[in-house]
């Protein structure tokens, strides 16, 4: 009964655009967008390449509150250029996180939520996208000292490239079943390493290694949530209520080096072997 | 595919540290050497080729699972060692990394998390007050550079066609953007952030200094003296100016990055 | 890629602005802002070349003789079909009357 009820009242998060996602997660009525589309701060590089730019460069930055706590949220629009980060979109995320850290130094405990729907660097702005991602990463580590920086990978684009490293720096990371999380996109691995190594058309294989369920089973993310806007919001509020004091995953080199030292790297990897390895020391 | 393994990183590391012995407890693909810079203790780091790497996709100097996590370890040690020291030792990343490791094992085991381990280490070292300098002597590609070098306060590049910063190799970038390599090169000629040459990269304002040397593969005494002097200046500059990344935003080609930050601050 | 401009007679300025859509494959972004009384100005940036007549027909069918509100309209198009364009425009106009 309650399951059916939940199903009837759930609202898919994955299907929402970036702006709708922001308003679904922040406290009702608290959202104030910064550099909204009418500011028209667009990519300065795309039009020279014959590519139509989007007014917000595919990133929504909003201030607001989460359970009454001051928060800043950055949402990447996966529909624009595959959610790729260029100079402007990257600067919006990095700049917002930098200001949140400054808030904290001034006694305002602003936390951050990043909605990551991205293939990584926008190759049409290559080196400025890469530089911006380095700055996003720096800002996550800086803000994380003060307040949670929570990453959400909902899908359908997933989170790849340099932004997967950014996701892995977050203090907490949430995924849905529709999420994929990995450094290198399947096409690029196939291009660089060959189809024997990675068949970019074999979707079940790719999902088995990089899908949200596998990442959660391996302990590489903190929560596996339903594709439901309210469920995701409640999870965020729960984390902010009790952030815990676990060392961020990106600081856990002793554990990961120990596990990798025990891993037999001779045979090719499969999902089950990786689960067994990463679950082995948590039983 | 025949690949000549680059020894530049290793050669420059040896030269800068006067062949000091490396720290034990690291994979053969990560050299961790403690040696002075400007008369003070410093730690030098280089990811280098290891033909016997247990992970076959990380044998040519790529930053892979072991390299990422081990960089995190090498940097955490530095932070811990100087926790109570008033002057934090410098870290020099000698960068010659062709790419991150592309492979099935890597994706399955979470290479993104391993590289985050390295980024975390560099960023925390910087936040703790350690001057972090990256010296680009070869390739500085994509995720590999994010993990090893891009968190530095100051980036110094040697002027050489083999020194290259980019997000993706040309063939893969062409495939992903549905362009031919020729089309990609045509755009790169007029869009500086897409270009593969060092002058275009320098126009983005991300480099603190570029230096010419006589022998890039194996530095002579003069080359070494010039580079060492530059690293010393970079260290002094960081100690004077602070350990954030603001110094990267000054170029005309980063006007949009500055404007976004100004507008965000105004609307915050 | 090309940039096209259109103008139509209009009534009083709209009271607010609206944004819908996304510059994704087969889709478009529409920005509506109040304009000077009597004029509906539309600027289209589209990835599809040689489509000026198609846009003109579409706008004429939607706006000619219908006394729309005075607006500055920005369209960023990534190959949307006329049906999708019309849907997005109607959605944006509807948001104007809601907010």
Q: Determine how many CB atoms are found less than 10 A away from the CB of residue A29.
A: 8
Which CA distances in Å does A266 have to A270, A281, B58, B111? 12, 21, 13, 17
pLDDT at B2 over 50: no
Report if residue B33 sits inside a domain: yes
Please state the rounded mean pLDDT for residues A95-109.
98
| CA separation for the pair A54, B62 (Å, rounded) | 35
Q: Is B166 within 8 Å of A127 when comparing Cβ atoms?
A: yes
pLDDT tens readout for residues A117-171: 999 999 999 999 999 999 999 999 999 999 999 999 999 999 999 999 999 999 9
Report if residue B162 sits inside a domain: yes
Angle among Cα A137, A142, A144 to the nearest 5 degrees reads 95
| CA separation for the pair C47, C57 (Å, rounded) | 18
Q: Is A54 within 8 Å of C27 when comparing Cβ atoms?
A: no
Closest by Cα among B206, B199, B189, B195 to B254: B206
Residue partners of A236: CB distance under 8 A and separation at least 6 = A25, A66, A113, A150, A152, A174
Report if residue B3 sits inside a domain: no
Looking at residue A9, its pLDDT comes to 72
Domain count, chain B: 1
Residues A130-156: b if buried by 16+ CB within 10 A, e if exposed: bbbbbbbbbbbbbbbebbbbbbbbbbe
Looking at residue A2, its pLDDT comes to 58
Q: Is A135 within 8 Å of B248 when comparing Cβ atoms?
A: yes
Looking at residue B108, its pLDDT comes to 98
In this complex, does chain B touch chain A, defined as having at least 3 beta-carbon pairs under 8 Å apart? yes
Q: How far is C99 from chain A (nearest CA, A)?
A: 13
pLDDT tens readout for residues B33-82: 999 999 999 999 999 999 999 999 999 999 999 999 999 999 999 999 99
Indicate the pLDDT class of residue C99, thresholds 50, 70 and 90.
low
DSSP category for residue B192: G
In this complex, does chain C touch chain A, defined as having at least 3 beta-carbon pairs under 8 Å apart? yes
User: What mean pLDDT value characterizes chain C?
Assistant: 94
pLDDT at A261 over 50: yes
Q: C93 lies in which domain range?
A: 2-98
Cβ–Cβ under 8 Å, residues A255 and B114? no
Best A116, A129, A140, A162 member to test B by mutation, with max B CBs in 10 Å, is: A162
Sketch out chain A's domains with CATH numbers: 2-181+221-247 (3.90.226.10)
| CA separation for the pair C56, B33 (Å, rounded) | 69
User: What mean pLDDT value characterizes chain B?
Assistant: 95
pLDDT at B189 over 60: yes
Looking at residue A100, its pLDDT comes to 98
| A192 touches B at CB < 8 Å | yes
| CA separation for the pair A198, B106 (Å, rounded) | 11
**Which chain C residues touch A50 with a CB distance below 8 Å?**
1, 47
Cα B262 to chain centroid, rounded: 28
**Which chain B residues touch A88 with a CB distance below 8 Å?**
256-257, 260
For chain C positions 34-73, those within 8 Å of chain A (CB to CB) are 45-47
> Nearest chain C Cα to A78, which residue?
C24
Q: In the beta sheet, which residues pair with residue C76?
A: C29, C45
pLDDT tens readout for residues B71-114: 999 999 999 999 999 999 999 999 999 999 999 999 999 999 99
pLDDT at B243 over 90: no
Q: How far is B72 from chain A (nearest CA, A)?
A: 6
Which CA distances in Å does C99 have to A28, B42, C66, C85, C96? 15, 60, 22, 21, 6
pLDDT at B249 over 90: yes
- What are the two backbone dihedrals, phi and then psi, of residue B59, each rounded to the nearest 5 degrees? -100, -5
Residue from the list A121, A165, A188 with its beta carbon closest to the beta carbon of B102: A188
Looking at residue A118, its pLDDT comes to 98
H-type alpha helices, A50-161: 87-105, 126-144
Q: How far is B222 from chain A (nearest CA, A)?
A: 31
Best C18, C22, C79 member to test A by mutation, with max A CBs in 10 Å, is: C22
| CA separation for the pair B80, A39 (Å, rounded) | 45
Query: Can you give the CATH number for the domain in which B245 is found?
Result: 3.90.226.10
Q: Tokens for A57?
A: 């460069």
Report ipTM for this prediction: 0.97
Report if residue B1 sits inside a domain: no
User: What mean pLDDT value characterizes chain A?
Assistant: 95
Q: B167 lies in which domain range?
A: 8-267
Q: Determine how many CB atoms are found less than 10 A away from the CB of residue B171.
A: 13
Q: How far is A49 from chain C (nearest CA, A)?
A: 9
Domain count, chain C: 1
Q: Which helix (H) or strand (E) holds B133?
A: strand B132-141
């Amino acid at each position: 009964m309650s399951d059916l009820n939940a199903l009837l009242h759930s609202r898919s998060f994955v299907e929402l655009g970036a702006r709708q996602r922001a308003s679904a997660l922040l406290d009702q009525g608290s959202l104030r967008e910064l550099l909204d589309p009418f500011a028209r701060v667009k990519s300065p590089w795309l039009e020279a390449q014959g590519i139509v730019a989007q007014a917000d460069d595919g990133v929504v930055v909003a201030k607001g509150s989460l359970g009454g706590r001051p928060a800043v949220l950055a949402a990447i629009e996966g529909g624009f250029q595959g959610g790729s980060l260029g100079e402007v979109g990257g600067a919006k995320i990095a700049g917002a996180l930098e200001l949140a850290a400054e808030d904290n130094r001034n006694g305002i405990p602003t936390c951050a939520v990043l909605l990551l729907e991205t293939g990584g660097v926008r190759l049409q702005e290559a080196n400025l996208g890469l530089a911006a991602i380095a700055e996003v990463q720096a800002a996550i580590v800086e803000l994380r000292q003060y307040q949670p920086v929570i990453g959400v990978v909902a899908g359908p684009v997933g989170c790849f490239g340099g932004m997967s490293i950014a996701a892995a720096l977050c203090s907490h990371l949430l995924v849905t079943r529709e999420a994929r999380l990995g450094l290198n996109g399947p096409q690029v691995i196939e291009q660089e390493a060959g189809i024997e190594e990675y068949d970019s058309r074999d979707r079940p294989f790719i999902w088995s290694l990089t899908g949200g369920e596998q990442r959660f089973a391996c302990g590489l993310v903190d929560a596996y949530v339903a594709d439901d806007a309210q469920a995701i919001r409640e999870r965020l509020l729960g984390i902010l209520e009790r952030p815990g004091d676990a060392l961020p995953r990106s600081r856990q080199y002793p554990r990961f080096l120990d596990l990798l030292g025990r891993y037999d790297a001779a045979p090719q990897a499969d999902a089950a072997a990786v689960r067994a390895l990463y679950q082995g020391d948590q039983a | 595919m025949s690949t000549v393994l680059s020894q530049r990183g290793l050669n420059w590391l040896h030269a800068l540290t006067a062949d000091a012995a490396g720290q034990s407890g690291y994979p053969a693909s990560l050299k961790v050497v403690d040696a002075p810079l400007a008369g003070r203790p410093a730690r030098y780091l280089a990811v280098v080729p290891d033909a016997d790497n247990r992970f076959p996709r990380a044998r040519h100097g790529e930053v892979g699972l072991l390299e990422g996590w081990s960089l995190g370890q090498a940097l955490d040690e530095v932070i811990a060692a100087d926790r109570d020291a008033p002057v934090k030792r410098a870290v020099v990343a000698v960068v010659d990394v062709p790419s991150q490791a592309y492979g099935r094992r890597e994706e399955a085991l979470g290479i993104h998390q391993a590289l985050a381990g390295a980024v975390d280490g560099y960023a925390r070292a910087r936040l703790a007050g350690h001057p972090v300098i990256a010296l680009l002597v070869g390739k500085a590609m994509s995720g590999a550079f994010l993990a090893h070098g891009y968190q530095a306060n100051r980036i110094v590049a040697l002027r050489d066609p083999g020194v290259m910063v980019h997000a993706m190799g040309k063939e893969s970038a062409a495939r992903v953007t549905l362009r031919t390599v020729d089309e990609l090169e045509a755009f790169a000629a007029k869009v500086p952030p897409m270009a593969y040459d060092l002058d275009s990269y320098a126009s983005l304002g991300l480099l603190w200094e570029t230096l010419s040397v006589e022998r890039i593969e194996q530095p002579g005494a003069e080359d070494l003296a010039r580079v060492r002097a530059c690293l010393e200046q970079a260290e002094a500059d960081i100690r004077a100016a602070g350990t954030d990344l603001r110094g990267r935003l000054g170029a005309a080609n980063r006007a949009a990055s500055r404007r976004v930050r100004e507008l965000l601050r105004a609307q915050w | 890629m090309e940039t096209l401009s259109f103008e139509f007679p209009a009534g009083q300025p709209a009271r607010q602005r609206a944004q819908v859509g996304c510059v994704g494959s087969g889709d478009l972004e529409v920005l509506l802002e109040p304009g000077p009384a009597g004029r509906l100005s539309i600027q289209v940036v589209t990835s599809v070349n040689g489509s000026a007549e198609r846009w003109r027909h579409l706008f004429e069918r939607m706006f000619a003789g219908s006394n729309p509100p005075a607006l500055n309209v920005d369209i960023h198009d990534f190959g949307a079909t006329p049906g999708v364009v019309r849907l997005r425009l109607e959605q944006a106009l509807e948001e104007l009357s809601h907010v």
